[in-house]
Structure 1
């Protein structure tokens, strides 16, 4: 969308400086701050934090899945796993599955918020 129009507003110098400080802290433009605030949208820095959070969550699950694969490899190599270890392993798999489902629900909600924001 091409930006060709202007809106002039009058504000105090201190308020303007405060807004500029906020923009500098968030590494966004004053236009982005005002537009996002008026349109009740997610700010760019918040969007980046959300995406970083999603990536971090994904990395955590990758590590867990790698550990599960290592345990399975050991069990396959030994051709034996005790019933106690098997029960614990299945319990952990169930917990991971539940956590992954919750994570996917949260990520779906986050993506829908971001999509509504664009």
Structure 2
């Protein structure tokens, strides 16, 4: 899409600086912030956060699946799981719960934005 038109409006210098700070904090351009706000769509930085979260979640789940398989092998072979292995396993399960909570919060935000 070719950008060929401009919209000019006046705001105070302090308000512009506030908006620029928001953009800097969110790694956005002022144009992206205003356009996304007017068009009521997901901001680029939020989209990046979602993709980064999904990638991180994917990597963690691969590690957890490997860990679960290792615990299962040990339990089946030895009929015993050491306390340290059980603590490690419990920590991984806690990490899954934390990621699921984050995932649900992100999905709720997406659903809210889509509902508008």
TM-score by length of 2: 0.62
Give 5+ residue unaligned stretches, structure 1: 83-91
Give 5+ residue unaligned stretches, structure 2: 81-89
Highest CA radius of gyration, 1 or 2?
A: 1
Q: CA shift at 1:32, angstroms?
A: 0.2
Deviations 1:39-96 (A, max 9, x none): 11121122211222222222221121001221333356x3x647xxxxxxxxx9xx9x
Instruction: Give the aligned partner of residue 43 of structure 1.
Output: 43
RMSD over aligned Cα, in angstroms? 3.5
Length, aligned pairs only: 99
Runs of 4+ in 1 over 3 A off after TM superposition: 72-76
Q: Secondary structure, in 3 states, of the residue corresponding to 1:55?
A: helix
TM-score by length of 1: 0.61
Distance in 1 (alpha carbons) for counterparts of 2:47 and 2:54 = 11
